[in-house]
Amino acid sequence: MTIENISINKSFGGWHKQYTHQSKTLNCDMRFAIYLPPLASNKQKVPVLYWLSGLTCTDENFMHKAGAFRMAAELGIAIVAPDTSPRGTEVPNDDGYDLGQGAGFYVNATQAPWNRHYQMYDYVVNELPALIEDTFPVLNKRAISGHSMGGHGALTIAMLNPEKYSSVSAFSPICNPINCPWGQKAFTAYLGDDKAKWKQHDASELMKQASTFVPAKVDQGQADNFLTEQLKPETLEAAATLSGYPLEYNLHEGYDHSYYFISSFIEQHLTFHAQHLNK
């Protein structure tokens, strides 16, 4: 597969690079970013953390704001950040920020007109890792993390594919999308009215039934404006208690939904993933 490098910047001895490529899964051009730590510059293969961003975001939000590169360089972890949805003039969109372009929700849409392009689950789980592992000096050791909508994506993808990921973490994830406005709007559009299908992409429902565990870490700000209506972390806590899931959940006083919160704790998340990637 041909990919095109569109930017490159040196950071903490490693390299941040942006690429575009033609995605067969999404039927459009896609952009992603990768941070390669110094070890990778010496052709030593390194493990990869996949980062999934939230509503309205692109690959740039995390890479520019999270402050992750110093610790990633020290730990020898590559970071890959895909876009949050398919893009382009031919790709269906919606007037709302919480549906369509910028709001792929990391599911495979089954409903028209979304189903031709909105196959973000397959893109993140299959196409993108295959491209990364074929192109860059990385191992097939993977961890996954994300924020808000991306936290939902990271948790559900890890639990649906426990053999593919060493660990999973999330900041302010949408924990129970079948019971919140963001999730209900997106799932109705992408998956239809059958709520049994919705449960297959609900982190709390999956964690409740889990029997194979991927170590999980979730951090949530107590001053998050979306905490009660949209995020519902108490449902994830209850599910972990029910199934005995190895979930580390931390609630932080005063922190909100922003990248100020993420940048405050991202190094702890990277250290958490390194412990499991290096086992």
Question: Which positions are annotated as active-site residues?
Answer: 148, 224, 257
Q: Fill in the DSSP letter of residue 100.
A: B
CA–CA dist 81, 59 (Å, integer)? 5
The residues, ordered by sequence, that sit 6+ positions from 50 with a Cβ below 8 Å of its Cβ are 79, 80, 81, 82, 124, 128, 129, 142, 143, 144, 145, 154
Q: Fill in the DSSP letter of residue 234.
A: H
What is residue 7's three-state secondary structure?
Answer: strand
Beta bridge partners of 145: 51, 169
Are residues 123 and 109 in contact, defined by beta-carbon separation less than 8 angstroms? no
CA–CA dist 241, 238 (Å, integer)? 5
* 155: its two tokens: 């948790």
The residue among 247, 259, 277 whose CA lies nearest residue 164 is 277
The residue among 148, 18, 11 whose CA lies nearest residue 67 is 11
Rg of the Cα atoms in the chain: 17
* 159: its two tokens: 């639990």
CA–CA dist 117, 106 (Å, integer)? 12
What is residue 249's three-state secondary structure?
Answer: strand
CA atoms within 13 A on the CB side of 158: 33
